[in-house]
């Protein structure tokens, strides 16, 4: 999911010790009803309309319930009674809802979905994720301020039935609406909190398996307790989730080894190599790619394709993934990840299609060609010397990664001066969104297992396109795949391949690697399975 740009972070050991000092003995952490989990950073927001990152997404999944929910790779009905097939040539979904409750005992109704969806696309909300509604009737026009919000293609047919109308078929609709922007909202709670909604647990009304309690947005640890009002509460086997922000991997390893946490997530670098022999070690290839965005709005020279290609070819991704990341990343040629989507006719991995063979070279390490293209690009733009800053997170892993990138560019591109700016995760997000950067290390996780989840991010009008890359032919192909060719599997697949070919040759964003998530999970923890959108369904997790 929505994994907008995050990496492991550095956090002082003494701070972790203080946070955990009141957590009891090692034995308490073995309580079969309590699961202690590491988090790479704080929750930026619990407002489902405003969330853009995987940390918020996971905690929204823990505490909220939408129409459907992933359990591992399997899509299951949640508030919806069943997985619905569309009518009207793929453009209408009529969805009956279960009789479920909010945490305050009030019923979750069709109108709660209508209110939430309208709120997300409303330009006044300024949701960075409003674009994900594209294809739902009038969503694009509403986001652009050209239609009123009440014209959005969702309506309550009665208290427990909604109808969703699309401008054109969305082949991945049912997996799309799993994501946090499509969760219902309890209107009185949202309106009472105003702009502060989602920044503290007080006043929030939830409908998921757990309730977030005594939390404020700046907290480095938080607790979620079982929600007995949850419709499927009988299936929830844990009574409590305890999250601790662990930004230093070695600190996290110490906490794991002493049984203070049951699950240490997203280990990298030297620590990943150190623990790879643990029986509890696992490495999961995620539908997540890291890449560099170049600020093409701020700097004219970044609009030069040769300069972007040169930057890409100057990076030794094998050294990056093996030596710097400790094999927690794998080499990737395109911004669409491997092992995520497959040709509906042949079963071929999207990234292995022959269409892409001619452009994958632009993501390969070739310092000689990089220098040639660099010199040509510099001459074409009239630049003499270039000086810019790489923006990244303030984590130990991010700093090492960015230092490596700095060294690669400085070594292979003549006349270049590269500096680093490492800031906290939320600050980096804010700077990315506002365009306050030269070059930024970003990341994205699939919202649903389809190439367009990545391709949509780099269309000219995408709110996620922080680098402001623009190519009309690319835009047309992405649009075609989601409109005129939406019901034609083969044509749609080719549209996405052709769009990826353009994006890869253009190096609209410079792909760095695909994330392999390394974790340590205690042997008595069961059903901790990754889903296609990068999250975990903690409804079915339990401890033996």
DSSP 477-500: HHHHHHTTTTT-HHHHHHHHHHHH
Instruction: Write the pLDDT tens digit of every residue in 511-525.
Output: 999 998 889 999 999
Over range 256-270, report the average pLDDT.
89
Lowest mean pLDDT segment, chosen from 20-24, 31-35, 142-146, 526-530: 20-24
Three-state secondary structure call for residue 45: coil
Model pLDDT, residue 370: 98
Q: Where residue 426 falls among pLDDT bands split at 50, 70, 90?
A: confident
Phi and psi, residue 44, nearest 5°: -75, -35
Model pLDDT, residue 189: 98
Model pLDDT, residue 68: 98
CB–CB of 265/521 below 8 Å? no
Over range 467-487, report the average pLDDT.
94
Over range 453-461, report the average pLDDT.
94
Instruction: Write the pLDDT tens digit of every residue in 129-161.
Output: 898 998 999 999 999 999 999 999 999 999 999
Q: Where residue 26 falls among pLDDT bands split at 50, 70, 90?
A: very low
Burial class of residue 12 (count of CB atoms within 10 Å of its CB; 0-12, 13-18, 19+) = exposed
* Mean per-residue pLDDT over the chain, rounded: 91
Model pLDDT, residue 236: 98
Model pLDDT, residue 28: 43
Q: What is the dihedral of CA 379, 383, 385, 387, to 10 degrees?
A: -130
pLDDT at 443 over 60: yes
Model pLDDT, residue 25: 40
Number of Cβ atoms within 10 Å of the Cβ of 71: 15
Model pLDDT, residue 339: 86
Instruction: Write the pLDDT tens digit of every residue in 178-199.
Output: 999 999 999 999 999 999 999 9
Q: What is the dihedral of CA 77, 80, 85, 91, to 10 degrees?
A: -130
Per cent of the chain over pLDDT 90 is 77
Over range 252-268, report the average pLDDT.
92
d(CA 465, CA 38): 30
Q: Where residue 409 falls among pLDDT bands split at 50, 70, 90?
A: very high
Q: Where residue 17 falls among pLDDT bands split at 50, 70, 90?
A: very low
Higher pLDDT, 383 or 476: 476
β 92-96/154-158 pair status:
unpaired
Three-state secondary structure call for residue 123: coil
Model pLDDT, residue 30: 62
Three-state secondary structure call for residue 136: strand
79 Rama class: left (phi>0) / alpha (psi -120 to 50) / beta: alpha
d(CA 132, CA 239): 33
d(CA 23, CA 486): 52
pLDDT at 13 over 50: no
β 281-294/439-445 pair status:
antiparallel
Higher pLDDT, 269 or 398: 398
pLDDT at 533 over 70: yes
Instruction: Write the pLDDT tens digit of every residue in 308-367.
Output: 999 999 999 999 998 898 778 899 999 999 988 889 899 999 999 999 999 999 999 999
The pTM is what?
Answer: 0.75
pLDDT at 10 over 60: no
């Amino acid at each position: 999911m929505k994994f907008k740009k995050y990496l492991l972070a550095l956090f002082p050991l003494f701070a972790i010790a203080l946070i955990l000092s009141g957590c009891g003995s090692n034995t308490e952490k073995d309580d079969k009803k309590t699961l202690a989990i590491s988090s790479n950073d704080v929750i930026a927001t619990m407002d489902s309309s405003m969330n853009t990152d995987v940390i918020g997404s996971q905690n929204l999944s823990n505490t909220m319930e939408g129409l459907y929910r992933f359990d591992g790779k399997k899509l299951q009905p949640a508030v919806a009674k069943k997985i619905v097939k569309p009518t009207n040539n793929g453009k209408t979904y009529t969805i009956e809802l279960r009789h479920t409750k909010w945490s305050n005992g009030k019923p979750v109704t069709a109108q709660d979905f209508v209110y939430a969806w309208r709120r997300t696309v409303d330009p006044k909300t300024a949701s960075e994720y409003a674009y994900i509604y594209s294809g739902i009737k009038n969503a694009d026009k509403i986001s652009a301020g050209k239609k009123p919000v009440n014209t959005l293609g969702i309506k309550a047919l009665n208290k427990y039935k909604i109808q969703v109308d699309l401008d054109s078929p969305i082949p991945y609709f049912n997996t799309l609406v799993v994501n946090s922007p499509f969760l219902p909202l309890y209107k009185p709670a949202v309106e009472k909190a105003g702009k502060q909604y989602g920044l503290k647990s007080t006043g929030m009304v939830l409908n998921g398996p757990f309730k977030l309690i005594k939390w404020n947005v700046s907290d480095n640890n938080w607790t979620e307790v079982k929600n007995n009002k949850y419709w499927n509460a009988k299936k929830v086997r844990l009574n409590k989730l305890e999250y601790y922000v662990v930004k230093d991997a070695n600190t996290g390893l110490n906490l794991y080894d002493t049984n203070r946490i049951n699950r240490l997530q997203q280990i990298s670098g030297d620590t990943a190599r150190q623990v790879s022999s643990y029986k509890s070690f696992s490495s999961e290839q995620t539908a997540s790619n890291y890449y560099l965005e170049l600020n093409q709005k701020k700097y004219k020279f970044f609009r030069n394709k040769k300069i972007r290609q040169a930057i890409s070819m100057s990076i030794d991704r094998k050294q990056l993934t093996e030596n710097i990341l400790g094999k927690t990343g794998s080499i990737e040629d395109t911004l669409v990840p491997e092992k995520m989507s497959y040709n509906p006719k042949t079963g071929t991995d999207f990234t292995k299609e022959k269409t892409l063979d001619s452009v994958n070279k632009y993501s390969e390490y070739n310092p000689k060609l990089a220098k040639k293209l660099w010199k040509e690009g510099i001459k074409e733009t009239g630049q003499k010397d270039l000086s810019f800053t790489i923006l990244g997170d303030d984590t130990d892993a991010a700093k090492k990664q960015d230092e490596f990138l700095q060294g690669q560019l400085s070594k292979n591109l003549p006349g270049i001066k590269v500096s680093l700016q490492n800031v906290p995760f939320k600050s980096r997000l804010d700077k990315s969104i506002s365009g306050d950067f030269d070059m930024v290390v970003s990341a994205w996780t699939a919202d649903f297992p389809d190439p367009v989840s990545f391709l949509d991010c780099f269309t000219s009008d995408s709110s996620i396109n922080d680098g402001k890359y623009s190519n009309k032919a690319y835009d047309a192909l992405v649009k075609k795949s989601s409109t005129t060719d939406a019901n034609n599997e083969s044509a749609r697949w080719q549209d996405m391949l052709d769009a990826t070919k353009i994006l890869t040759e253009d190096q609209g964003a410079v792909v760095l690697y695909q994330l392999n998530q390394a974790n340590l999970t205690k042997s008595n923890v069961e059903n901790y399975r990754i889903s296609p959108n990068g999250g975990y369904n903690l409804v079915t997790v339990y401890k033996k």
